[in-house]
Amino acid sequence: MTPRAPSAGVAAEERPEQPELTSGEWAERSPEPAAVLVLGASAGGVQALCEVVRALPARLDAAVFAVLHLSPYGRSAMPAILSRCGPLTAVHPADGEAIRPGCIYVAPPDLHMLVEPGIVRLSRAASENGFRPSVDVLFRSAARSYGARVVAVVLTGNLDDGTAGLAVVKRHGGVAVVQDPAEADYPGMPASAVRNVDIDYVLPLGEIPGVLVDLCDRLAAEAVPAVAAVAVAGSAGAAAGTAAAAGAGAAARAGAGGDPGAAGAAGNPGHAGGDGGAAVMKELLERGADREAGARPSGFTCPLCGGSLWHNEEGHYEHFRCRTGHAFSPESLFALQSKSTEAALWEALRALEENAALSGRLARQTRGGPHAADQERFRMRQRAAELHAEELRRILMRPDGLSGGA
């Protein structure tokens, strides 16, 4: 498939000649990577991630971050798998670990991975789209920390994790790359991204690594004139981040008790649309206050905690978040609503069957003597409960289930 024409921010244009840097030279001259690559995948993602990292060069001008949806109940072998697949070393980072160019950071099971300026953060904050780690959390934090230096990639997977985060990457000037849904093993995540975000490149999996390397080279070349200023900017940014953290922390604490939209706006001054500052994102996320400004009641409840969901719209695309911090894109919300509906029906079936059993026991205890009328009443209750339970069981056993094929 022919790549989509890149947006203006990534289109090739004439630039003055600048010295080319290898990733090793970049690392010596700057503590920061030239580019930040963030990758998200779900079903089918092990093979897809391996194919991408296999073709990346050993001296890559970027730090690479990957989120793959895996079971939270065991250890992950992904760092070992990715390290064997290509020349770059993959690790599960520790909270607060420094970011190094040429390293792949893989989100550990059951922990969100966030990118803050110069460091990786880990968090057990509320799940997003039903997952922890969430692709949206990684993409959103990288965009806020590194802006136009971010290249975000959505690979194979079901539902729509990554779509909302990809929109934030684009809003901050980053580049959006998506695996062609037509060739993805599971097209849900790539197709959602293509439908709802202005994607720069829609590519077969085999062509993605070459584009990533080209984008990293371009970002390294653009960054050369600013290398000398990195240390100064970093010091100033750290001071500003400390002050912002104090203000945002207070806003988060105040906002946690009120309107989710108001908390996002108050906690994140200086970011259009209420986007959270990078240095305080972990605190906001863990307090359930990492929200966009202007959120409105949606009329829906959170399928995980039962709280009210507030929603924002970006174009025609909606995003939902509850007071405690659970967040959902539309298809993920639908899937979890279907799951909670099925759970409620199983509970109702259990309650009806217990009611029928109890009515039968009471009917047996009142058999004969002066309690004959009570016995008939309990028998009628038993028959009614058994009838309703059978109807519910037929609904639950239908082949199409409650998910509509999702």
pLDDT digits (tens, 9 = 90+) for 70-97: 999 989 999 999 999 999 999 999 999 9
The pair of structure tokens assigned to 281 is 């994102």
Closest among 271, 327, 322 to 143, alpha carbons compared: 271
Which residue of the set 61, 136, 160, 161 is catalytic? 161
Which tens digit of pLDDT belongs to each residue from 289-307? Answer: 776 677 889 999 999 999 9
Phi/psi region, residue 372 (left: phi>0; alpha: psi -120 to 50; beta: rest), is alpha
pLDDT exceeds cutoff 50 at 26: no
pLDDT exceeds cutoff 60 at 165: yes
Residue 328: how many CA atoms within 13 Å on its side-chain side?
A: 25
Task: State the burial class of residue 182 (Cβ atoms within 10 Å of its Cβ: 0-12, 13-18, 19+).
Answer: exposed
Pairing label, strands 112-116, 119-123: antiparallel
Which tens digit of pLDDT belongs to each residue from 46-77? Answer: 999 999 999 999 999 899 999 999 999 989 99
d(CA 224, CA 278): 24
Q: How confident is the model at residue 314 (pLDDT cuts 50, 70, 90)?
A: low
Alpha helix (H) residue ranges in 186-229: 188-196, 208-223
Which residue of the set 69, 92, 319, 326 is catalytic? 69
Residue 35 · residue 151 · CB < 8 Å:
yes
Mean predicted confidence (pLDDT) in 227-250: 41
Which tens digit of pLDDT belongs to each residue from 176-222? Answer: 999 999 999 999 999 999 999 999 999 999 999 999 999 999 999 98
d(CA 309, CA 405): 24
Q: How confident is the model at residue 161 (pLDDT cuts 50, 70, 90)?
A: very high
Contacts for 175 with CB less than 8 Å, ≥ 6 apart: 6, 7, 9, 10, 150, 151, 152, 169, 200, 201, 215
The whole model's pTM is what? 0.76
Residue 126 · residue 327 · CB < 8 Å:
yes
The pair of structure tokens assigned to 232 is 């100064």
Active site annotation includes 110: no
Residue 381 · residue 353 · CB < 8 Å:
no
Which pLDDT belongs to residue 402?
Answer: 67
Alpha helix (H) residue ranges in 30-153: 45-54, 78-85, 135-146
Task: State the burial class of residue 329 (Cβ atoms within 10 Å of its Cβ: 0-12, 13-18, 19+).
Answer: buried
Residue 126: φ, ψ to 5°: -55, 150
Contacts for 228 with CB less than 8 Å, ≥ 6 apart: none
**Other beta carbons less than 10 A from residue 73's beta carbon:** 7
Residue 34: how many CA atoms within 13 Å on its side-chain side?
A: 29
Class for domain 23-227, per CATH? alpha beta
